[in-house]
């Protein structure tokens, strides 16, 4: 970046805003522009950086909140909803008369029983 380094010591004399052993990095609030070196960022960039930092904090906070939601709670709610639906369908099937529906009613009751067992185990 147009730096001058001492041939004997290797120590470089960095231009304004540059840092590092070879002056190949920019300090905070400076931006590296190829062929121009490090240039100071204007006030607009500082506001953008502050906004991005704030958004990063918000995202981190949301991730922590999401991780606190128990998967058992979500599974329990789904099982409860599905159990109610199966019960509703079993009632409808019982209302229908005829021998062809007897197997369906039995299957629905079995499914309802299985769903109840799953729901109870998810609540623990």
**CB 24 within 8 Å of CB 2:** no
**CB 26 within 8 Å of CB 17:** yes
For the stretch 12-42, pLDDT in tens is 888 889 888 878 889 988 888 888 888 888 8
Average pLDDT, the chain: 79
Residue 119 CB: number of other CB atoms within 10 A?
Answer: 17
Whole-model pTM: value is 0.35
User: Residues 80-108: what's their mean pLDDT?
Assistant: 73
pLDDT over threshold 80, residue 83: yes
| 3-state secondary structure at position 5 | strand
pLDDT over threshold 80, residue 58: yes
- The residues, any chain, with a CB within 8 Å of residue 25's CB and separated by 6 or more, are 18, 19, 32
């Amino acid at each position: 970046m147009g730096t001058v380094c001492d041939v004997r010591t290797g120590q470089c004399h960095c231009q304004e805003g540059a840092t590092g052993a070879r002056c190949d990095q920019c300090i905070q609030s400076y931006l590296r522009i190829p062929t121009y070196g490090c240039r100071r960022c204007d006030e607009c960039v500082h506001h953008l950086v502050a906004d991005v930092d704030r958004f990063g904090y918000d995202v981190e906070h949301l991730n922590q909140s999401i991780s606190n939601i128990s998967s058992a709670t979500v599974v329990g709610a789904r099982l409860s909803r599905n159990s109610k639906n199966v019960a509703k369908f079993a009632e409808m099937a019982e209302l229908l008369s005829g021998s062809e529906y007897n197997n369906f009613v039995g299957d629905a009751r079995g499914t309802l029983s299985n769903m109840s067992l799953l729901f109870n185990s998810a609540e623990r």
